[in-house]
A and B are shown apart, each in its own frame.
Chain A
């Protein structure tokens, strides 16, 4: 009788604890949301958008040409809405390309720039700075537009499939995969929600908010940079900049978020 009473009250205590823990988690999440919202106003990524727009128009390289005639998939020089439809298949290179690999193609072809040192350079180096600013600018020109990534070409489907396989591919000293963190719904690491990338909503959380300005480091990050850092955190060998494997993971995310609205450039803690 007495022990039953104790059990009942313990159960009551346990219930109260779970309820308050839940409430606390909810208020924490709400607090983070409020903080994110406050950050939206005055996003320093806008400063990179401006400098990216200048770089786009600036004559550079041995051919003394600007990037204004660069074809990002919607025709030469058409920037508006181009980012929402990348990665895509390009006939001239016979490849599926994301924004940054395409920008490298334009730099080579239009400006005559040797891109090998740019590809090799670290993300923090000045060689990469132009590409980061350009990705801020080009992505800003698709803000508010719906993601519309084509899966019509066999190479596009191939890229998406490769991306999906890579997402689940476990390797490295920690036997890690993208799916280890992003393969379940409703999980978080420290106070960061972990989007479930295979779902439309989860993929959109990642895909439509990068490139982004990171407040904690005071840096503008391109999508390639973000992906590279995911591999680094998994203790994988870092992929080559703008290589097929990086485009594949982007194809997987972009393909899954088709129909979501672009919010680029974003801002992150």
Chain B
């Protein structure tokens, strides 16, 4: 099972800054292991972030995104106590959803 993400969100003057650290190997499919065999690609390809029930960000990722990706962005609206929900799906079909409250 995928490991949890770390989500932080803070609202100031009507703007909410959301910071998400994801836990994922993000294998490109280009690397070889010690025996020379190709390590199969394994990466997050869909990301969705909701703030107070409304989708505020969707992204389609590929193998060029780093291991343990970190994403930070600002969005208009949102207030303390609102729920931030982030979910991703990787190319193996594995999913993970985590949430946090805006401070």
Binding site for B on A (CB under 8 A): 41-42, 44, 46-47, 50-51, 215, 218
Whether B83 is near chain A, meaning CB under 8 Å from some CB there, is no
Task: Please name all residues of chain A whose beta carbon is closer than 8 Å to the beta carbon of B3 when the two chains form the complex.
Answer: 47, 51
Assuming A42-B19, A46-B21, what are 15 further A-B pairs, CB within 8 angstroms? A42-B21, A42-B72, A44-B21, A44-B23, A44-B67, A44-B68, A44-B70, A46-B6, A47-B3, A47-B6, A47-B21, A47-B68, A50-B4, A51-B3, A218-B26
Interface residue SS majority, chain B: loop
Interface residue SS majority, chain A: loop
22 CB < 8 A contacts A-B? A41-B19, A42-B6, A42-B19, A42-B70, A42-B72, A44-B21, A44-B23, A44-B67, A44-B68, A44-B70, A46-B6, A46-B21, A47-B3, A47-B6, A47-B21, A47-B23, A47-B68, A215-B66, A218-B26, A218-B66, A218-B67, A218-B68
User: Chain B 24-52, CB within 8 Å of chain A: the 1/0 string?
Assistant: 00100000000000000000000000000
Q: In the complex the two chains form, what is the Cα distance from A50 to B3 in whole Å? A: 10
Task: Please name all residues of chain A whose beta carbon is closer than 8 Å to the beta carbon of B66 when the two chains form the complex.
Answer: 215, 218
A44, closest chain B residue (CB): B68
Shortest 5 CB-CB distances between A and B: which pairs?
A218-B67, A42-B70, A44-B68, A42-B21, A47-B23
| B79 CB → nearest A CB, Å | 22
| B37 CB → nearest A CB, Å | 16
Task: Please name all residues of chain A whose beta carbon is closer than 8 Å to the beta carbon of B6 when the two chains form the complex.
Answer: 42, 46-47, 50
Chain B residues touching A, range: 10 to 19
Task: Please name all residues of chain B whose beta carbon is closer than 8 Å to the beta carbon of A218 when the two chains form the complex.
Answer: 26, 66-68
**Quick one: which of A41, A47, A218 has the most chain B CB within 10 A?**
A47
A219, closest chain B residue (CB): B67
- Say yes or no: A41-B68 contact (C-beta < 8 A), given A46-B21, A47-B3, A47-B23: no
Task: Please name all residues of chain B whose beta carbon is closer than 8 Å to the beta carbon of A46 when the two chains form the complex.
Answer: 6, 21
Q: Which parts of B11-29 form the interface with A (CB within 8 Å)?
A: 19, 21, 23, 26
**A41 close to B23 (CB less than 8 A):** no
Q: In the complex the two chains form, what is the Cα distance from A113 to B23 in whole Å? A: 29
Q: In the complex the two chains form, what is the Cα distance from A44 to B26 in whole Å? A: 13
Task: Please name all residues of chain A whose beta carbon is closer than 8 Å to the beta carbon of B21 when the two chains form the complex.
Answer: 42, 44, 46-47
| B25 CB → nearest A CB, Å | 8
| B17 CB → nearest A CB, Å | 11
Task: Please name all residues of chain B whose beta carbon is closer than 8 Å to the beta carbon of A44 when the two chains form the complex.
Answer: 21, 23, 67-68, 70
A220, closest chain B residue (CB): B68
| B20 CB → nearest A CB, Å | 8
A49, closest chain B residue (CB): B6
| A126 CB → nearest B CB, Å | 14
**B72 close to A41 (CB less than 8 A):** yes
Task: Please name all residues of chain A whose beta carbon is closer than 8 Å to the beta carbon of B26 when the two chains form the complex.
Answer: 218
Q: In the complex the two chains form, what is the Cα distance from A50 to B66 in whole Å? A: 20
| A41 CB → nearest B CB, Å | 7
Q: In the complex the two chains form, what is the Cα distance from A44 to B19 in whole Å? A: 12
| B67 CB → nearest A CB, Å | 4
B71, closest chain A residue (CB): A42
Q: In the complex the two chains form, what is the Cα distance from A17 to B79 in whole Å? A: 54
User: Chain B 63-81, CB within 8 Å of chain A: the 1/0 string?
Assistant: 0001110101000000000
B5, closest chain A residue (CB): A47
Task: Please name all residues of chain A whose beta carbon is closer than 8 Å to the beta carbon of B68 when the two chains form the complex.
Answer: 44, 47, 218
| A101 CB → nearest B CB, Å | 28
